[in-house]
Structure 1
Amino acid sequence: MVAVDQLSSDLFAQFRDDFTGGLARLAQGAVFPSAYQGQAATETCPGHSTLLTGVRPARNGIVGNNWVEASSPREDKAVYCAEDTTDPASTRRKPVVSARHLLVPTLGEWLKQADEDSRNVAVSLKDRAAMMLGGTATDAAWWWDGEAFVTHAGRPAVRDIDTINAAIARTIATGDNPVLDRSTPGFCARFDRSFTAGPVEFGANPLAVRPGNEGDWRRSPRSDRATLAVALDQLDANRLGQRDATDVLAVSLSATDYVGHAYGTNGLEMCLQLAALDDMLGDFFGELDDRGIDYVVAFSADHGGQDAPERLVEMADPGAARFDPSLISDDLELEVRSRAGITFDRRLVYNYASEFVLDPGLSTADRPRTIEALKAILLEHPQIEAVFSEADMLATPAPDGNPQDWTVRQRARASWRKGRSGDVTILLKRGVSAVSIPGEGYIATHGSPWDYDRRVPLAFWRKGMDGFEQPVPVETVDIAPTLAALIGLDVPEGSFDGRCLDLDPGEGNTCGAVSE
């Protein structure tokens, strides 16, 4: 599984004809250019949680990167999606990384249950991506902790991880990495123009790593190169695909997401990032070829992304704007109190949606009045598309059918779970960026219920397969059942929200393996 963080279908299509490496190889397989992360919660954790579980967030429990949970031992009841909040050693700044909040098995876990010799390995720059792809039962899981690639406590660093970490440290300290420094590809030249978002100016020395700046390193192809080096190291250390068993190697590449946040999605920086990604994946697949491994690649993304509104306005999108939170301020509680006679504790998170969690001390009789007053006030805000209460979500069936045609309410329902989702959820209008004030490293984002965030590429590739293009909308939850069928893995009925996709364009049907 190769997941590229924040790679929208729009970006993949825009540069598809320019790819010559690994992305070009994938584009020759079975390609579904209109795959969907069905849910409204188009964030890293929910998005990755669908890829190898085959289950939407409403069932798998990963409703966001963060949420509020009454059972949390923390005073603020905050929960990070990839943290063991029951461990006293865990803190918000330095979490004890865990997949304990994921409520369903991943493909690698199903495989290990069926064959104890199978191995399940996950690697990512982001801990939450590795946890959501691997699950709770991994043979190895690696992620970047801000200083080095690390794994779970008690698991040894094997083979060349120390060497890789030392090379990364040198790159960050000096800003040098000649292997990745390259001239601007010709197809990127048209993006080389100045641009300003708030106080930040772009266009000079893109994707350079300033000496000592770890953030710059993450926001460059260099971090993807390092992630792939760790993945290759772990492939050899665990002899993945080199034994008489089927294994899962899940790799999430995060640099595209960091570049998208820091520079937007339509600038020179993103073009350079995707050109480098194409080269790096080509090298990575070449390493697998050299080892003689028979492998299948499933390729997709956790979500897409929206460009910075300032550039969107310049590029024929006059409706793009930044969210104005002035009407959602400290005065909001006073207004609710005035309309409903109730006070409450408020939590606002301006990412995919604002979410309110009411004071649990409110009486059963007072809660409906408070919620209705709050909904009415929020809907008066001209940039808010929809506001849903717990009652609204409970009354909404789980969506089915074509994800392209789901209503906003159905999209919200696909990522809503009682006990983890808030009492009131807010979705912003199309084109409204949740980044109210741009700054260095964060001028653009994702997380909306709109197709620029929900629609992602999906492709499957195996040596010798006959490729084809199928534009019908599918979902990322279709990946796990498709792979399970391909390898003949028997999974109990009802385990997946998705469906198997037939990867044989001829008379054969790769989805027949499960029933047989």
Structure 2
Amino acid sequence: MMKKIYLLLFISTLTLTGCNINSTKESKPKLVVGIVVDQMRYDYLTRFENRYGNGGFKRLIKNGFSLENAHYNYIPTYTAVGHTSIYTGTTPTNHGIIGNNWYDKYEKRSIYCVDDNNYKTIGNDGDGGKKSPYRMQTTTVTDQLKLAQNMQGKTIGVAIKDRSAVLPAGHTANAAYWFDGGSKGEWISSSFYLNELPKWVQDFNASGKADAYLNSPWETLYDINTYSESIVDDNNFEETFKGEEKPVFPHDIPNLRSKNNNFSILKAIPAGNTITADFAKAAILGEKLGKSDYTDFLAVSFSSTDYVGHQFGVDSKEIEDTYLRLDKDLEDFLNFLDKEVGRNNYTVFLTADHAAVQVPSYLKSIKIPADYFSYKKFNDYINEITDKHFKSTELIENISNFQIFLNKEKINDLKLSVHEVAEIIANEAINYKGIYKTVTAKTLQSTSFNSGLLKSLQNGYNQKFSGDVMLIPTPATISYSKKGSTHGSAYSYDTHVPIIFYGAGIKRGNSKNNYKIIDIAPTICNLLDIEFPNGNSGKIITEVLK
């Protein structure tokens, strides 16, 4: 009798103190949603803050955990590299994705990060689906979730760009989907994942949404005179759509589409983000994500921000309008998650794959140092150097992505030392206008840099795939058109991006501590109680976790 009384008292005590005898940790989310905003600078959160509503970016910041001093820690800051690093928790030195395109010194040609002719397009008769993640050498957080659940649960990747859907979804995804423009206007996939499109994708493609979004002009969401966070609309620093006389609002999309590769123009306007959100919602419903006994993962990338940034630049009215519209898309998407998955059943992280530099020609116009780099002129310069020192102009195989690949066969034929040739080229290249630092592959292999630009360069260097001489341009120096802008460096304008965690298992707050983009994957893995990606070099951001 006394034992029964003690047992009842013990159970009552547990109940009164709020203890759960079945669990010592909050339940895992039913769905993780990774959101990558392509080319989003951190200051877009603060610059447009007064114009954002309360349900999009502000909701994530207010009710989630925002890292205000988060950066990329490698060179080059390109789309494929960024998406891969976010999801693998490591840098190109381990995961092997060293660019969007890069020179393959084994195949002696330029290659694209996700091209794979072993597979065919699923969804139409084009070649846009011949893709896979096979060049990515390590696992992703999405792979590790599948492994931890014995291949149960679903992983889906969604993006306008193929690389932004394929690489985050990992090697074990159920599917990755991307938008095929031109005359197609359809979401497609690869036979790497499946043999036919699910009915929900077929229905989406048949819905006419893509066409509908191109039936009206791109006008500003609000009165353009209130867009005070951007420079004058009519300026010399922005690229026009083909068929336009000036890069100004309104952009007559219905009449411009035929001159801008038809459905491909959708990628370059805010509606590209909206249809991405629409498709992501369709994926949640069609795949019943967040409804099973396992944790599912949806990797979503909003790519149109990058297209707009490249064409119009960081300071344009178009960028301001794109982010105001994206804020509304996010609000709608979060409300959808609340309804379909349940407010306490999902976890979101939002970040960017890189940021961007202001248009250098604009910077020059206001007396800030900036410049443009010509690969052709630089190649001529390097050939003069090799001719001067080695009596040959055939020692360079390729120069791209600020890397020099040497012609090893020719160097051997001339009985020269590869290391000596590389060292002399590096020493001479530093004298070229626009080049700020140079370093040889041998130095990167034998010296450990602890900080600064050379540390970032080392993190981005892959011994198997990278070049023989690595170059760093001066700040705000790019190889690009003098209208519009780009990215790729280790300077803060390219590396400083938002990282916001929100939802199940996440604290409310913010931090000014320095974190790296590679810290996202191990943090999500810890939240899910799973092993880190196998190349992980990031750390858990303990501040954000309950």
2:57 is aligned with 1:23: yes
Q: Which amino acid aligns with 1:452?
A: Y
User: Matches of 1:84 and 1:238 in 2, distance apart?
Assistant: 26
TM-score by length of 2: 0.82
- Indicate conservation of the 8 Å contact 2:375/2:399, yes or no: no
Match for residue 128 of structure 1 among 144, 147, 163: 163
Deviation by residue 1:241-288 (Cα, 9 ceiling, x = unmatched): 111111111101101100110000111000000000000011011111
Q: Which amino acid aligns with 1:216?
A: I
1:4 shift after superposition: 0.2
Extract unaligned runs of 5+ from structure 1: 400-405, 511-516
- Indicate conservation of the 8 Å contact 1:62/1:81, yes or no: yes
Q: Which amino acid aligns with 2:165?
A: A
Q: Which amino acid aligns with 1:81?
A: C
1:163 shift after superposition: 4.2
Q: Which amino acid aligns with 1:217?
A: L
RMSD: 2.7
User: Matches of 1:503 and 1:145 in 2, distance apart?
Assistant: 40
Moved beyond 6 Å, runs of 4+: 86-89, 178-181
- Indicate conservation of the 8 Å contact 2:218/2:269, yes or no: no
Equivalent residue number for residue 527 of structure 2:
486
User: Matches of 1:133 and 1:266 in 2, distance apart?
Assistant: 29
User: Matches of 1:96 and 1:291 in 2, distance apart?
Assistant: 33
Match for residue 220 of structure 1 among 239, 256, 269: 269
Equivalent residue number for residue 145 of structure 1:
180
Partner secondary structure for residue 99 of structure 1:
coil
Equivalent residue number for residue 403 of structure 1:
none
1:334 shift after superposition: 3.6
- Indicate conservation of the 8 Å contact 2:379/2:399, yes or no: no
Partner secondary structure for residue 190 of structure 2:
coil
Equivalent residue number for residue 513 of structure 1:
none
Match for residue 157 of structure 1 among 197, 201, 207: 197
Equivalent residue number for residue 257 of structure 1:
306
Match for residue 475 of structure 2 among 399, 416, 430: 430
Equivalent residue number for residue 413 of structure 1:
458
Match for residue 134 of structure 2 among 97, 100, 105: 100
Q: Say if 1:326 and 1:112 are closer, same or farther in 2 by CA, change over 3 A.
A: closer
Match for residue 237 of structure 2 among 176, 197, 220: 197
User: Matches of 2:522 and 2:488 in 1, distance apart?
Assistant: 26
Partner secondary structure for residue 347 of structure 1:
strand
User: Matches of 1:150 and 1:81 in 2, distance apart?
Assistant: 18
Q: Which amino acid aligns with 1:7?
A: M
2:103 is aligned with 1:68: yes
1:196 shift after superposition: 0.6
TM-score by length of 1: 0.87
Q: Which amino acid aligns with 1:313?
A: K
1:132 shift after superposition: 1.5
User: Matches of 1:469 and 1:372 in 2, distance apart?
Assistant: 45
Deviation by residue 1:173-206 (Cα, 9 ceiling, x = unmatched): xx31489973347752453432113885433325
Equivalent runs, 1:53-452 vs 2, <5 Å: 53-72=88-107, 76-84=108-116, 96-115=130-149, 116-146=151-181, 147=184, 148-153=186-191, 154-166=194-206, 167-171=208-212, 175-177=214-216, 182-184=221-223, 188-189=227-228, 191=230, 192-197=232-237, 201-206=246-251, 208=253, 210-212=256-258, 213=260, 214-293=263-342, 294-314=345-365, 316=366, 318-325=368-375, 327-330=377-380, 332-342=382-392, 343-349=394-400, 353-361=401-409, 362-363=411-412, 365-397=416-448, 406-435=451-480, 437-438=481-482, 443-452=484-493
Q: Which amino acid aligns with 1:176?
A: N
Partner secondary structure for residue 70 of structure 2:
strand
Q: Say if 1:17 and 1:321 are closer, same or farther in 2 by CA, change over 3 A.
A: same
Match for residue 74 of structure 2 among 18, 21, 39: 39
Q: Which amino acid aligns with 2:215?
A: D
Partner secondary structure for residue 429 of structure 2:
helix
Q: Which amino acid aligns with 2:387?
A: R
Partner secondary structure for residue 58 of structure 1:
helix
User: Matches of 1:373 and 1:297 in 2, distance apart?
Assistant: 49
1:490 shift after superposition: 3.6
User: Matches of 2:204 and 2:439 in 1, distance apart?
Assistant: 47
Q: Which amino acid aligns with 1:384?
A: I
User: Matches of 1:470 and 1:197 in 2, distance apart?
Assistant: 35
Q: Which amino acid aligns with 1:484?
A: C
Extract unaligned runs of 5+ from structure 2: 1-33, 241-245
- Indicate conservation of the 8 Å contact 1:33/1:457, yes or no: yes
Q: Say if 1:43 and 1:413 are closer, same or farther in 2 by CA, change over 3 A.
A: same
Partner secondary structure for residue 240 of structure 1:
coil
Match for residue 52 of structure 1 among 87, 92, 96: 87
Q: Which has the larger radius of gyration?
A: 2
User: Matches of 2:35 and 2:133 in 1, distance apart?
Assistant: 19
Equivalent residue number for residue 514 of structure 1:
none
User: Matches of 2:61 and 2:203 in 1, distance apart?
Assistant: 33
Q: Which amino acid aligns with 2:257?
A: P
User: Matches of 2:440 and 2:163 in 1, distance apart?
Assistant: 27
Equivalent residue number for residue 8 of structure 1:
41
Q: Say if 1:140 and 1:317 are closer, same or farther in 2 by CA, change over 3 A.
A: farther
After alignment, is 481-490 or 245-254 more displaced?
481-490
- Of all paired residues, the percent bearing the same amino acid is 23
Equivalent residue number for residue 477 of structure 1:
518
User: Matches of 2:532 and 2:505 in 1, distance apart?
Assistant: 27
